[in-house]
Amino acid sequence: MDRTYAEQKSTKMKLAVNIKSNNNENNEKRVPCPADIHQAVCVDVQDMGWIEGKYGWKGYVKLFFETEVDDKYYLVKTYRQNAVISGGSKKSNLYKMLAGWIGEGFAKKKDFDLSQLVGKCATIIVEQASFTNDGGEAIEYAYVDTIKAGKIDVEPSGEWTPLTERDDYEAPEYSAFSEGPPKAVAEREAKREAGKAKRDAVKAISAKEETDEVPF
């Protein structure tokens, strides 16, 4: 193979997330995926484990996609999503994403393995946003807002190494698909007990109202 051609092909296959802009010599920036509707392929699913947030403990995951735009491959991911997709979770963002992408059949499986999504093509709606870093600089980034069924086959670039296959990978102490840490389990149990107590109180009031004599 011609060396020049090989070098050009290698450059084309590089993920645009790793391409740097030299607009600022002292501050190289990553290039976010353009905001648009793209044909893509899922290249990874990250099990983020359990995280305590404003609304308590939840297990989270992220989905990673590659898409090619103008001969450049871009890596773009979803925001972290609550990993619960069974039972009464049809209103969750992850459930809606998966249902719009692969249909609702996955919900019938007790233990649906999200790693099955790797290699599956999709139509993704990518949006851009920005945040201000500690230095006061506005940083632009892209994220997957919506996932639908893929319309064409998209081949991955081969540049992305799955997170679990990296030398520095450390699995979360508690998988997002597990019951979680003891604090999370205790929090859920406390919420169940509080909910039950509230329902019992409402029933007691209703029963009392039904037996009370109404004076005329």
Q: Supply the pLDDT for residue 192.
A: 87
Q: Supply the pLDDT for residue 188.
A: 86
Q: Supply the pLDDT for residue 84.
A: 72
Q: Supply the pLDDT for residue 212.
A: 61
Q: Supply the pLDDT for residue 155.
A: 94
Residue 202 belongs to what domain range? 181-216
Task: Say how many domains are in the chain.
Answer: 2
**Among residues 128, 109, 139, 98, which one has the least CA distance to residue 34?**
128
Residues 33 and 112 in one domain: yes
Prediction pTM value: 0.76
**Among residues 202, 203, 67, which one has the least CA distance to residue 126?**
67
Q: Supply the pLDDT for residue 83.
A: 83
Residues 53 and 105 in one domain: yes
Residues 77 and 169 in one domain: yes
Residues 12 and 94 in one domain: yes
Residues 125 and 205 in one domain: no
Instruction: Classify residue 117 by burial, with Cβ atoms within 10 Å: 0-12, 13-18, 19+.
Output: buried
Residues 88 and 193 in one domain: no
At 118, list the tokens.
Answer: 């790797």
Residues 114 and 185 in one domain: no
Other residues' Cβ atoms within 10 Å of the Cβ of residue 34: 16
Per-residue pLDDT of the chain (216 residues; tens, 9 = 90+): 443 333 333 333 334 333 333 334 333 456 899 999 999 999 999 999 999 998 899 999 999 999 999 999 999 999 999 887 655 456 678 888 899 999 988 877 767 889 999 999 999 999 999 999 999 999 999 999 999 999 999 999 999 999 999 999 999 999 998 889 999 999 989 988 888 888 888 887 777 666 665 555
d(Cα 75, Cα 59) in Å, to the nearest integer? 23
Residues 74 and 19 in one domain: yes
Sign (positive/negative) of CA torsion 172, 174, 176, 182?
A: negative
Q: Supply the pLDDT for residue 26.
A: 34
Q: Supply the pLDDT for residue 195.
A: 87
Residues 66 and 146 in one domain: yes
